[in-house]
Chains A and B, each alone.
Chain A
Amino acid sequence: MSIIIDRRKNPSGKSISNRQRFLKRIEGQIKKAMPGIISGEGIKDSKDGGAVRIPVKGIKEPSFRHDPSSGNKTTVRPGNDRFSEGDRVPKPEGSGGGGSGSGKGSNQPGSTEDEFSVILSREEFLRYFFEDLELPNLVKTYMESAEQFSTRRAGYIKDSVPSRLNVRNSYQQSLARRIAIQGALEKKLSDLEAELKKEKDPDRKKILKDEIAYTRRQLETIPFFEDLDLRYNNFEQVPDPATSAVMFCIMDVSGSMGFHEKDISKRFFTLLYLFLSKQYEKVELVFIRHHTEAKEVNEEEFFNSRESGGTMVAPSLKLMKNIMNERYNDSEWNIYCCQASDGDVWSDEDAAQCQQIVRDDILPSIQYMAYIEINDSSANSSLWKAYKGLQDENRFSMRHINEVNQIWPVFQGLFRKRQAMKKS
């Protein structure tokens, strides 16, 4: 009789590992398609989106094949409704002639296409997206100002509290002691008995017999446990480097920022937000919008509000400084800042003030700051010039973005993985 097996409950995903191998093969193509995806609308709804479809060209699987445009071929086709032998039918322009007809039955897998789409789950997509990126200088090495400690095992110690008693080690010590003492006593006993045999003098004999009896009693009463046997687990304190981070997002929403500029800055911050929430568990985000005034807002308002006004940048930096002092102690937090503006400030004093605040108050306390200028002109704005003096690739980066397709390369440039840098 035949066997019937219900495989439906089997763990699924027989093809998962093969699919992964295939994705690895076309990694290059996926990465090339990234900028296209970002420029598209999909990135905007960052919270929970569906899967992403990426068009790829299949990988060639070569083999020896006939060139379809060469040679003489005869094909048999069904359904003749008008032809007789010898009829001629003009060939279509430019094509190499039809295929031959071993048709497909209903249980043939789909035909190979040269171009098709790979559907990546959100997770996989973000993984490729942010593969080589990280927040720079994240792990501070702490000598002085570590506030967090964690406890860690560190061997054994001879005296501690009873709850930390390590029974096994204590027993080992006790066993060793007992064996050693027993050995010594037994040797002493056998020596004494040998001496007794040889001894003639009765007084000496009595003394020896007493000693033998005493030694025997000692052998029988070796203590099982003594205080010096006991061993306790030892712990030590180890400083925890702080890996919690906070990112200050400063976005200029003044009137001088047109729709295009605002769009680019929004996309940039969306990307940043996705990056941080995917890669790091504990990242806090502080959103600051400014036109003439600076205001801390929540995420909803940051991305969606429609306020506008003139441009003054210095208040936003002042606000950031205040928040830093109030809430984010720089010894516990890694502080990052990302500012986007079109650089068109109200006055040169404003620019000078910005430079001063950044240089004196902000840069010393933070790990990394990035300034993005979004404008069309290649002429540098006053803010750009003001910041230029402070530029330093590892602490403060400045970039220009003009078009949407530049967002991704700039982002990559800002956050690419760097060699580990120790801060002593």
Chain B
Amino acid sequence: MTTKEKYRDMFCSPAWSYETLLAADEITHRIGLEDFKLKVYPNQIEIVTSEQMLDAYSLIGLPTSYPHWKFGKDFVINQGNYSKGRMGLSYEMVINSNPCISYNMENNTTAMMVLVIAHACQGHNAFFANNYFFREWTSAESIIDYMVFARNYILKCEEEYGHEEVEQVLDACHALMNHGVDKYKKPQKLSAQEEMERLKRISEARRESYNELWKTVPDTGNEVHFESSLGNFPAEPEENILYFIEKNAPVMPGWKREIVRIIRKVAQYFYPQGMTKVMNEGFATFTHYHIINKMFEEGYLNDGFMLEFMHSHSSVLFQPAYNSPYFSGLNPYTLGFNIFMDIKRICEQPDAEDKKWMPELAGKDWLEQVHYAMENFRDDSFLQQYLSPKVIRNMGLFAIADLEKENDYIIQAIHDENGYGRIREMLSEQYSRSGYVPDIQIDHVELHKSNRMFLTHNMTNGKRLDREEAISTLDAIRYLWGFPVSLYSRNKLGIVEDEYKTD
């Protein structure tokens, strides 16, 4: 019996064994690499029971994490839902790490196992390894070790300083997790030598461009005087609140700073995941679809397998309409998969509409274009760039405006010539972070006086903050900062609409 026949027997039998998984991993990896040019981290496939899967849910997939009651609460909720049958457990869960750890449920059938290996160990893995957002903001190699460190550090702090205090710090930090991420890289501090060289270059440039003629220009008298020492602190508004507190809180003990830093790093690690959901799932579904079909072509799978596969695949991609009782939002799998398939279609068989809307794709190599899209975009930019009229028509997308002053919902755009561009824009905005995380920045601190911290909330689209939550979160900042805090909500004209303060 050839290897291929042996593998086919394994894949098409209802029960799986280690050999089956090894074989599935080998074949999917080969096809992914050769046929689809996927570069992936090495995989670590873990088989878990349903209870362990519930554990994984509450820890968001990390194999270890610092202890906190919030994970207990998530665990209790998920366990309750699962045991009452309100929620099913997913077939797999995969995390952004190197090696890439994926948890597979023990009671998957063979077909599901092969499917999830293709989906997670090739699709998601390649996404984590190649998408710019993940590469820039997360360090897949070091996250597991870092979590081990975090856990040990926090346990030690609990021993030394008591449960309650550590819990208070953690609670306060959790409240600020969304505002504890960097969205752009801060410039590195230059070393002394680099600073010297920079000054030398500047003075060289000045010398070379010196011209006596400038001295003849009359002095207008309104030169800019740079404010000396008592300038604004911080010099520019800071949006990473946890970072600011960690570096600048006047009377915070070192161990608390370290805890703030830990939470900040964890928030930074998860930052890309919230903003690439559609792409990630879409790409993984696209990958597993192609790999499984290729395996069928090459003779590794039979019709029975394909039937089960197609059933699962179509269930995952099911998108209920807005008025269906099952509707619960846009299914990221559906949206992402449709767009990637559409990219392929436009590359291979563009029609006139495609040439008008996506000229840069029409007629190109689809694999290259899919890779380009996967590597260089995140959800909002991806939708803005690649959502085509055809997908809008197929999914029947339409835009509803909910204006505060109006008593009716107004349909703003539908799938017609007028509406495509606007739907694309509005959908892209829906997935942009600023839609759900309020724009709050630290404006200034009254240093050496009351040490009061002033924050500004820049209202977008007239959205105000939820009052109660804002007050509770402000208390959290107050606790960490150690001094009074104020928050002003300003509309786009700069006028203060809401004010919150602690003393």
Residues of A within 8 A of B (CB): 1-8, 10, 12, 14-15, 17-25, 58-81, 83-91, 97-110, 112-113, 116-119
Can you name 8 extra interface pairs (CB under 8 A) apart from A8-B48, A20-B72, A72-B403? A62-B175, A63-B469, A79-B322, A84-B414, A102-B278, A108-B90, A109-B78, A110-B86
Q: Please measure, in the bound complex, the distance between the C-alpha atom of A108 and the C-alpha atom of B89, giving whole angstroms.
A: 9
Q: Please measure, in the bound complex, the distance between the C-alpha atom of A21 and the C-alpha atom of B400, giving whole angstroms.
A: 43
B90 pairs with A106, CB closer than 8 A: yes
B409 within 8 A of A: yes
8 Å CB contact of B473 from A62, A67, A101: A62
Q: Which of B195-203, B254-262, B300-308, B327-335 contacts A (4 or more CB under 8 A)?
A: B327-335
A100 pairs with B436, CB closer than 8 A: yes
**Given the contacts A67-B463, A71-B461, A110-B86, A78 and B397 also touching, CB distance less than 8 Å:** yes
Q: Please measure, in the bound complex, the distance between the C-alpha atom of A71 and the C-alpha atom of B174, giving whole angstroms.
A: 26
B46 within 8 A of A: yes
Q: Please measure, in the bound complex, the distance between the C-alpha atom of A90 and the C-alpha atom of B462, giving whole angstroms.
A: 21
Shortest beta-carbon distance from A112 to chain B in Å: 7
Which residues in A have their C-beta under 8 angstroms from that of B21?
4
Which residues in B have their C-beta under 8 angstroms from that of A105?
277, 281, 331-333
- Majority-rule SS of B interface residues: mixed
Binary CB contact string for chain B from 388 to 414 against chain A (1 if under 8 A, 0 otherwise): 000000011111111110111111111
B58 pairs with A18, CB closer than 8 A: yes
8 Å CB contact of A76 from B71, B79, B430: B430
Which residues in B have their C-beta under 8 angstroms from that of A85?
411-414, 416, 418-419
Total contacts A-B at CB 8 Å? 305
B70 within 8 A of A: yes
A77 pairs with B400, CB closer than 8 A: yes
Q: Please measure, in the bound complex, the distance between the C-alpha atom of A206 and the C-alpha atom of B476, giving whole angstroms.
A: 99
B476 pairs with A62, CB closer than 8 A: yes
Residues of B within 8 A of A (CB): 18, 21-22, 25-26, 29, 42-49, 51-52, 54-55, 57-59, 67-83, 86-88, 90-93, 99, 103, 106, 121, 167, 171, 174-179, 277-278, 281, 316, 319-324, 327-333, 395-404, 406-416, 418-419, 423, 426-427, 429-431, 435-438, 440, 457, 459-470, 472-473, 476
Shortest beta-carbon distance from A415 to chain B in Å: 29
Which residues in A have their C-beta under 8 angstroms from that of B70?
22, 61
Query: Please, could you name 7 A-B residue pairs with CB atoms under 8 Å apart, sorted by A?
Result: A4-B25, A21-B67, A64-B440, A72-B402, A76-B423, A81-B396, A109-B74
Q: Please measure, in the bound complex, the distance between the C-alpha atom of A56 and the C-alpha atom of B70, giving whole angstroms.
A: 15
B402 pairs with A110, CB closer than 8 A: no
B463 pairs with A18, CB closer than 8 A: no
Shortest beta-carbon distance from B73 to chain A in Å: 5
Which residues in B have their C-beta under 8 angstroms from that of A73?
401-402, 461, 463
Q: Please measure, in the bound complex, the distance between the C-alpha atom of A129 and the C-alpha atom of B43, giving whole angstroms.
A: 48
**Given the contacts A60-B472, A80-B415, A103-B331, A18 and B431 also touching, CB distance less than 8 Å:** no
8 Å CB contact of A102 from B86, B330, B403, B409: B330
**Given the contacts A71-B464, A109-B78, A8 and B401 also touching, CB distance less than 8 Å:** no
Q: Can you name the residue of chain B whose Cβ is closest to the Cβ of A20?
A: B72
B55 pairs with A103, CB closer than 8 A: no
Which residues in B have their C-beta under 8 angstroms from that of A98?
402
Shortest beta-carbon distance from A6 to chain B in Å: 5
Which residues in A have their C-beta under 8 angstroms from that of B48?
7-8
Which residues in A have their C-beta under 8 angstroms from that of B322?
77-80
